Amino acid sequence: MSHIRENRKKLVARVRRIRGQLASLERAIEGDTECGAVLQQLAAVRGAVNGLILQVMEGHLRSHVAGRGSSKRQDELLPVLAVLRSYLK
């Protein structure tokens, strides 16, 4: 969990932005906003959550799976991270 501790400020800021997006989505639904606009906001929330997942997952893989000291293992992790990035985009 050291990678979370190291990135705490960035992660909390990202969570707060997501909270703001969700609050805006709630207001849109309560305010009878058109479904197209609601769907667009939902897609933005999904993208933000996927970005958060990727950030935590990348930190986990780099810290706990590949190990911080091994440059060879870090290099081997690059294709895996590329696949995850494309999947969570």
**Around Cβ 50, how many Cβ atoms within 10 Å?**
15
For residue 68, what pLDDT is reported? 66
The yes-or-no verdict on residue 69 having pLDDT over 70 is no
pTM over 0.85: no
Please say if the pLDDT value at position 1 is more than 80: no
For the chain, the helix, strand and coil percentages under 3-state DSSP, each to the nearest 5: 85, 0, 15
Task: Decide which of 1.20.58.1000, 3.90.1150.10, 1.10.10.60, 1.10.10.1400 is the CATH code for 2-88.
Answer: 1.20.58.1000
For the chain, which residues make up each domain, given as ranges? Answer: 2-88
Q: Give all strands (DSSP E) within 1-89, no chain letters.
A: none
Q: What is the pLDDT of residues 10-38, one digit of tens each?
A: 999 999 999 999 999 999 999 989 999 99
When pLDDT is averaged across residues 36-60 and rounded to a whole number, the result is 95
